[in-house]
Amino acid sequence: MLKKVKAENNIESLRRDELRQRLAELARERFRDQVVDTLEIEHLVDIATNYTLLLSDIYDPLKIEQILQRREPAAARWLSRLELQDSPACGEAILRLRQVPDQIKTVADKCLYDVGVFRRDRYRGVSLTDLGVRSYRMASEILEILAEDRRLRDFFGSNQWGPLPIEDEIVFLKQCAQRFTVHADLLNQLRLLKRTGALTPFEAAPSCGGEPPPAPASPAAEPAAAAPEGRAEPPPGAQTAGSTLAPSAPAPLEPRRAAPGRPEAERAAAAGPALITPETPPGLPQAERLCAYERMLAFSALPIETLRARLKKIVIDQDEAVDTLCDEFTLYATGTQDPRRPSSYLFVGPTGVGKNYLIESLVGLLEQHWGEEVPFLLLEGPNYTYPSDINELRGATRGFIRSDEEGVLTEFHHRSSRVPFAVILVDEVEKAHAQLHRFFLSVTDRGTVTDNRGHTLRFSNTLLAFTSNLGYSRLQQQSTPIGYERVRGARRYPRREIERDLKKALSPEFLNRLTTVHFAPLSRQSITRIFDLEFEKITSLYERIHGLRLEVSARAREELIERGYSDDYGARYLANTLQRHCNVEVSKKLKRDEKSTDRNVRPILEYLREVRAGRRIYREHDAERLVHAQARVRVPYRRLRIDFRDGEFVYEAGKAAR
């Protein structure tokens, strides 16, 4: 006898495993653009294997009427007068109360079974799809009422009535309502597999094969129709809730067990790689685990080598820094990066070599590729020279002024916690108070920090970068005599001396948590390449706004590079030179040559003010077109050439070259 029972259990296990595998395959074939998770697969397996219950008639007219008309759930009425006391009667009352959403869910499961397996569309004029969706939703709403009541919260916290925590069960019921048609389609495809002989289960459900039966053809439905309204009698063995949503007789007070079969990890493995599995990085909250998954997918689809090449074209001669960041992104793509700690860097180099520019360019390229915002926070080190300045980050301590306001990091956390990747840049960290370094120790180590309200802020999905010119600025001052002209050749800075200055100014525990990246000084060749990039930015603006083509002669180009090259100030000095001679002077000439300055800008100003006040719909293209059309300079030429003659820059107008 014992051997027979074991054999039957093995057969049942094999059938569930085969169903699970086939459903996973069907989900991948039919819904390539969606994810069918393991909970949904298990739910459908339960529907397919519990056909002995679902073949019975559990539709009740009054219950259906309450579901479709969405009357006040019975649980809400009973909950208002329920008094929890330490007595057996209390336990029975809670059990009856807890059975209400289960009874509604049984109706939903019956609808799913009839629609998916029998292809039955209606029951007594009622759409079974609509009834199933509404039943799942009502079950979730009733369960939500029970979970939110303060008198039952502790009870549900200590007694798990189902295979899922009550909060997850509420979400899953809503998910079943939203994806009812998907689940019905998968059950129907499972029925078709049985018809072709490709599936062995479903043997006890004879109606699964052949054509769908007529709508209310089951014998159990006829007595219900003949009975007086509200007195439909269920068939023997049918588990109904009676004529209303009232609870049935109490059963033994035991938590429900998880569905039979293998452990959750094995069931997930059998479901196939297209399903979401419960395997998650250990020690992380659910929101942070989801961010880690999303980050892994986002970077796995990112062409990292293309990103590397584009960054090297934009950030000139800083290949070491670009390679360091892109190599880190490969760990994101493969999922082998520690999801609990942010990537933390210390960018060290002379002024104006592209430390900040690398981060800004990276954010711009990622936003362009992903099509969504990458939250970016810039903190200026010189703004945190006193210990009290740190309160701006975490928020003022209770009892102090503005303690009711959130800190800068708390506000940033609201944005960064909703996305897979964010960036924090702390510029000139050596000029900040040492308290700032200590404040970021927990962020760089554990990815967390506590704000003034005791909330834990998590930044494990954040790239954290600190910039500094420690060592470089000292060596620059020592090698440049007072009154000496700007250096004309790139200097070499011994890294050993730079590291010594870093250790003097920054604590070992702070440095050990960061990856130090050295930025190279810019050579004259680097400045030449940067000139082309910066000049292109200026010319593109004049072309887009004013329809003016800006050109520079070879002599003017050499002079601008000569004046803009500086080892002390890097590309920043070149940008200032270009701004002066290729932007300011060009704008002055255009305004001098403009024939008419009579512009009727009031209508456009009113339009912009109405948009800002919310009275008009804003469209970026329309606003830009209107503003540019009015702001465009009215000059008789479409080309302006910058030349250098007799020791000064000359601006010559001409027709646009074809």
Residue 529 has pLDDT above 80, yes or no: yes
Dihedral over Cα of 520, 523, 529, 531: its sign: positive
Report which of 467, 422, 428 is spatially closest to residue 447, judged by C-alpha positions. 422
Q: What is the pTM of this model?
A: 0.69
Give all strands (DSSP E) within 331-438, no chain letters: 343-348, 376-380, 422-427
Cα angle for residues 637, 641, 647 (degrees, 5° grid):
135
Number of Cβ within 10 Å of residue 310's Cβ equals 17
Query: For residue 329, how far is the Cα from the chain centroid?
Result: 17
Least confident of 24-38, 193-207, 296-310, 360-374: 193-207
287-513 and 522-593+634-658, same CATH topology: no
Domain ranges of the chain: 14-233, 287-513, 522-593+634-658, 595-632
Overall average pLDDT of the 42-47 stretch? 90
Report which of 526, 525, 518 is spatially closest to residue 322, judged by C-alpha positions. 518
Q: What percent of the chain has pLDDT over 70?
A: 71
C-alpha neighbours within 13 Å on the C-beta side of residue 656: 10
Least confident of 283-292, 462-471, 589-598, 639-648: 283-292
The residue written with tokens 């180590």 in the block is: 445
Who wins on pLDDT, 441 or 94?
A: 441
What is the structure's pLDDT at 222? 35
Asked whether the beta carbons of 352 and 427 are under 8 A apart, the reply is: no
Who wins on pLDDT, 309 or 240?
A: 309
Report which of 566, 557, 564 is spatially closest to residue 522, judged by C-alpha positions. 566
Q: Please state, in angstroms and rounded to a whole number, the distance separating the CA atoms of residues 24 and 316.
A: 50
Least confident of 90-94, 212-216, 328-332, 453-457: 212-216
Q: Please state, in angstroms and rounded to a whole number, the distance separating the CA atoms of residues 158 and 242.
A: 30
Q: Please state, in angstroms and rounded to a whole number, the distance separating the CA atoms of residues 556 and 641.
A: 10
Query: For residue 24, how far is the Cα from the chain centroid?
Result: 26
Residue 124 has pLDDT above 60, yes or no: yes
Overall average pLDDT of the 34-55 stretch? 81
pLDDT tens per residue, range 128-170: 999 999 999 988 888 887 777 666 666 565 554 456 777 788 8
Q: Provide the pLDDT confidence category of residue 67 given band limits of 50, 70 and 90.
A: confident
Q: Please state, in angstroms and rounded to a whole number, the distance separating the CA atoms of residues 222 and 61.
A: 12
Q: Provide the pLDDT confidence category of residue 642 given band limits of 50, 70 and 90.
A: very high
Residue 213 has pLDDT above 80, yes or no: no
The residue written with tokens 């052949």 in the block is: 210
Asked whether the beta carbons of 640 and 548 are under 8 A apart, the reply is: yes
Residue 235 has pLDDT above 80, yes or no: no
What is the chain's percent helix, strand, coil content, to nearest 5?
Answer: 55, 10, 35
What is the structure's pLDDT at 223? 35
Residue 248 has pLDDT above 60, yes or no: no
Q: Provide the pLDDT confidence category of residue 498 given band limits of 50, 70 and 90.
A: confident
Structure tokens at 584: 């300011």
Strands 343-348 and 462-468: parallel
Third-level CATH fold of 522-593+634-658: Helicase, Ruva Protein; domain 3 (1.10.8)
Structure tokens at 210: 């052949």
Strands 422-427 and 376-380: parallel
Q: Please state, in angstroms and rounded to a whole number, the distance separating the CA atoms of residues 526 and 558.
A: 14
User: 287-513 has which CATH code?
Assistant: 3.40.50.300
| Average per-residue pLDDT for the chain | 78
Q: Provide the pLDDT confidence category of residue 237 given band limits of 50, 70 and 90.
A: very low
Query: Measuring CA to CA, how many Å separate 47 from each of 157, 238, 256?
Result: 28, 16, 17
Least confident of 213-222, 431-440, 513-522, 583-592: 213-222
Report which of 65, 100, 64, 106 is spatially closest to residue 79, judged by C-alpha positions. 100
The residue written with tokens 């470089």 in the block is: 472
Instruction: Calculate Rg over the CA atoms of the chain.
Output: 35
Structure tokens at 441: 């120790």
Overall average pLDDT of the 114-122 stretch? 89
